[in-house]
Structure 1
Amino acid sequence: MGVIYVDGDACPVKAEVERVATRHRHPVTIVANGGLRPSANPLVETVFVPDGPDEADKWIADRCGPGDVVVTGDIPLAARCVEAGALVLKPNGEALTARNVGQALATRDLMTDLRAADPFRQGGGKGFTKADRSRFLDALERQLRMSQIR
């Protein structure tokens, strides 16, 4: 049985991960720079990494592998985790795999370049919705059920 790694900084589905993982008795590691209250749940480990750019990402990428699930919206981290053999779920329930993570990374880089080229460009992506949360819960539930069959 793998571990569910959660990129905890600004993750909107930490409570949902804990709820689904508890139902399946699946271990969870939430990784963050700080500012989180550790869970009292014995299945949930909270790891605090030093302040600094991408420290949580490095910690997760160095440890994840086949059988693990990584929950993150960070596309470069997702690419590293997919390469290591982990399944990656974005908080909206979208799975990132070897088939689509390259395109997601290219789109992210393109959008970064567009924002840099136009300093007056306002706004970002769309907001996180109840439907996104529901899709995430569905995707995580399916993945944990499949991992129990193997």
Structure 2
Amino acid sequence: MKIWIDADAAPRDVKEVVFRAAKRLDVVTILVANAPVGVPANATTVRSVVVREGADQADRYIVSNGEPGDLAVTADLPLAGLLVDKGLFVIDPRGEEYSPATIASRLSMRNFMDDLRGAGVETGGSAPYGPKDKKAFASTFDRLLTKAIRMAETSSE
């Protein structure tokens, strides 16, 4: 079981929560980005993978290497959809879990909003990332990580 982070736009707070959990639980964590991403020197289970520049290269890497039961962190809904379909647990940096039951409606809403923006409608953006988001992320992340670890332990028995 591994933790994957779509690291190009992951907030620092999210990475810190994941790094602490990875160290505490000895879980391999891989940050994937188009540019180098720093990892703590004392985080022996955390590594960074730099993919070549280009649209969706990090996404392709995560989809190709992630396995069912792994946990992924991404704000990219199309990537989340691919990972959910592949059997990964997926969470966004604000603590929303994506699942087979929710991903289709989230993608539909994203596409609708994208169409509105394409037509010139001002739709606004996300609120700045704040303490409530970090708390929601940490809570959902902890729950999903526990579930993923239990699943990995059960499948290895």
Q: So what's the TM-score if we normalise by structure 2? A: 0.88
Q: Structure 1: how far apart are the matches of 2:148 and 2:72?
A: 14
Map of 1:143 onto structure 2: 144
- Contact 2:96 / 2:137 at 8 angstroms: preserved in 1? yes
CA shift for structure 1 position 122: 6.2
Q: Structure 2: how far apart are the matches of 1:32 and 1:22?
A: 21
CA shift for structure 1 position 88: 0.3
Identity rate, percent: 34
Which residue type is aligned with residue 143 of structure 1?
Answer: L
- Runs of at least 5 residues in structure 2 that lack an aligned partner in the other structure: none
The answer on 1:29 being equivalent to 2:33 is no
Which residue type is aligned with residue 49 of structure 1?
Answer: V
Computed over aligned residues only, the root mean square deviation of the Cα atoms, in angstroms, reads 1.4
The answer on 1:7 being equivalent to 2:21 is no
Map of 2:40 onto structure 1: 39
Which residue type is aligned with residue 132 of structure 1?
Answer: D
CA shift for structure 1 position 128: 1.4
Q: Structure 2: how far apart are the matches of 1:53 and 1:85?
A: 23
Pick closer, same or farther for the CA change 1:122–1:10 going to 2, 3 Å.
same
Q: Structure 2: how far apart are the matches of 1:79 and 1:122?
A: 23
> What is the aligned length?
148
- Runs of at least 5 residues in structure 1 that lack an aligned partner in the other structure: none
SS in 1 for 2:10: coil
Q: How does 1:67-78 map to 2 (within 5 A)?
A: 67-78=69-80
Q: Structure 2: how far apart are the matches of 1:122 and 1:143?
A: 31
Map of 1:114 onto structure 2: 116
Q: So what's the TM-score if we normalise by structure 1? A: 0.92
Q: Structure 2: how far apart are the matches of 1:49 and 1:91?
A: 21
Give structure 1 regions of 4+ aligned residues with deviation exceeding 4 angstroms: none
